[in-house]
Amino acid sequence: MDNFSYLAQSAFPLVWILVPAIGAFVRARHARSPQEALETWQRWWAIGALGFGSLWMTVAFLALPDVMATAIGFDRTPFMFEIAFANLGLAVIGFRAASASARERITIGLGAGMFLWGAVVGHVYQWFANGDHAPGNTGGVLVNDILIPAVMIMLAVRSRRLPATPQPTVEIAA
C-alpha cells in the first residue's frame, strides 16, 4: 500500500470528529448565550460524531466486511457482525443524546466510552504485540475511540455546571 493510500485510509475516521466540530463551531457563533452554544456543541457531537460515526461503522462492517477486515488487519470473522451491531447500539444512543439531559449525556458518553476505550486497548495491544499497523487499527480510529466519548462527557459535565438561562417572565394584564 502506498503512503498516500495508507494515510487516507488511516485519516478517514477523523471525518466523524471534524465535520461535527466545524458544524458546531459555525452554528454556535450565532448562539445568544453560552448555554445555547454549549447545547449546539452537544447536539452536533452526539448526532455527528457518535451517531453518524457509529452508523457508518455499522454499515461498513455489514456491507463491506472484507474491506473492513483488511482495513483493521484481521481475517474476516463472525465477530465483525457483532461489532456492527455494537456500533448500531452506539448510533442509537448517539441520536438519543441529541435530546437528552446533561445527566443522560454523561451516562451515554460513559457507555460509549466503555466500548470505545476497550477497543483502544485492543487496537494498541494488536499494534505492539502483533505489529498490526493496518490503517483501521492504528490511525484515526484511535483518535475517534478516545475523543468521541471523552468530549461528550466533558461537554455534558460543563453543561451541568453552567447556570440555567433565565427565562423571561411575561406579565398578564388583569
As a whole number, mean pLDDT of residues 16-34 equals 96
Please tell me the pTM assigned to this model.
Answer: 0.88
Distance (Å, rounded) from C-alpha 118 to C-alpha 146? Answer: 10
- What the block records as the C-alpha cell of 141 is 480510529
- 165: pLDDT strictly greater than 70: no
Distance (Å, rounded) from C-alpha 106 to C-alpha 104? Answer: 5
- 164: pLDDT strictly greater than 80: no
Q: What angle do CA 103, 59, 68 make, to 5 degrees?
A: 110
Distance (Å, rounded) from C-alpha 156 to C-alpha 143? Answer: 20
Q: What is the pLDDT of residues 95-132, one digit of tens each?
A: 999 999 999 999 999 999 999 999 999 999 999 999 99
pLDDT value, residue 166: 56
pLDDT value, residue 1: 60
Q: What is the pLDDT of residues 137-157, one digit of tens each?
A: 998 999 999 999 999 999 999
The mean predicted confidence, pLDDT, of the chain is 93
> Which is more confident, 1 or 161?
161
Q: What is the pLDDT of residues 80-94, one digit of tens each?
A: 999 999 999 999 999
- Widest CA span in the chain: 78
Query: Which residue blocks in the chain are alpha helix, DSSP H?
Result: 3-11, 15-28, 34-44, 53-63, 65-72, 79-97, 102-130, 135-138, 140-161
- 168: pLDDT strictly greater than 80: no
Percentage of the chain modeled with pLDDT above 90: 86
pLDDT value, residue 169: 57
pLDDT value, residue 157: 97
Percentage of the chain modeled with pLDDT above 70: 93
Residue type, 89: G
Q: What band does 2 get if pLDDT is binned at 50, 70 and 90?
A: confident
Q: What band does 167 get if pLDDT is binned at 50, 70 and 90?
A: low
